[in-house]
Structure 1
């Protein structure tokens, strides 16, 4: 199935670390890895929940050491994104995960920016989003934000990710207030493994303009009405949700329900190296396993540009590409 031109708004660059790259980088820097080969690593991707995924996700980041490593990672993702008809990507990275390993923040952002420049040559524009870990202290997130600002890091916004259950967003209110004061855009994970009330929390307490995941909003009709009226984008990741058992199957996914309610839902891949699918695979799964048709996929793709942080004129240009795709039958 051909995929509409789209924006990817929920993508963790560390989550694009394919098994072959893990092994190649590990060999290059000479660190031992507990995998016999790429297939051995793939066999370990049988997650039972978010935490079991995160444990492997953070362990594999040990191979990312230099600006070159980060540049290669970002460039590899953007090359794959171009194949998936992604025209624009807003890419999250986890600065704390690298600082904790002693990697200077300048090394990280220099490499990511170099990879983004290569992606632009392929026709994929991109923005960088610093995502803070909600299972780490809010004070640490503030320190990292200040370090990013001092370094002049080319970030467009900030986010909040990692384990949702037991880690409320409220302690991060000052961090998000500081980011807003610096002109940064705001998003946060909520309503993935946690309840609909977590979506309300990030909207009201953090003041985010976009919600990552947000699928549990479907459980609260009042929240659905609010999301529709305020046109809050939800960056939904169907294959990820199934893999981490947030939903039972693509057929049972609430995305079609939210789309029918005129919520600004979008399709994304989250951590594609771990969940077995890039954004085109997510569109294909929705087409194959739900009642969504070509017009619905076009609407989802248009939503992705509407929900992006692109200038309005550029978003409109790209939305016109979606309409051309819709009519090309």
Structure 2
């Protein structure tokens, strides 16, 4: 029996309406997908062991970003090879905004000069978001060591070539290059002992297994305050407000010496622009929170907020600077 004209007309209208809804849905779905970010947990890869400055800063940021983004932001420590292992993992992660990388001057400005080949490209494989903080490095010694000043350390090292061991969070980390710069500028023969992060190196220093250490101030300051370590000098051009009685290496006997560590956040290359913008806005808001500023300052750091373009330019300049330092010092991996 043929369908009535009314029934046919109703079916046609329904089909047109369904097709229109499908078309609208297809048009809306990209916007909905973009607008829904984030809708699952975010991971910050840290390329050093727990307890070091990179880890400390990442955990401060993860707490703030969890509150700001409404999703858990967790820290995943992937130490080894001076930060190269964690950096390579982050570089190969999906570019969807759910993996971030807390990198350093080492991973993005020093390692390319120290290592013959990296398992990642610090420029091509990442999109820079912003620096998070800059911190001085601190030269500290076990209290049993027979030197208390930079001049006494230099004299002792020259009298005992190859016998003074200095630890660092890893080959290529800024404390390592700080030590190499010190060695080259003072003509001393210090023996570098690299670790997979600041925490294991600090454990050995506290146990007097190594004599001295160049470490980021946030990682070392608690042990200085407790009296477990002897502060010798700060690597930056100016003294730290957190340790005002500790001289700079330059004023303590090595004119022209200066080294600063910095830390920042990156996303994998090709992360969508709108996701980058969402992440950048959230990170900046966290870094402007007085409570976060206080936490970082109390650790001996200074909060830094860059534009994304400004951060990219800064990385380029730092790569040239530290590349020259590595070449002049003769440091090799």
| Higher-helix-fraction structure | 1
Q: TM-score, normalised by structure 2?
A: 0.29
Name which one, 1 or 2, has greater alpha-carbon Rg: 2
User: Which structure's relative contact order is higher, taking Cα pairs within 8 Å and 6+ residues apart?
Assistant: 2
| Higher-strand-fraction structure | 2
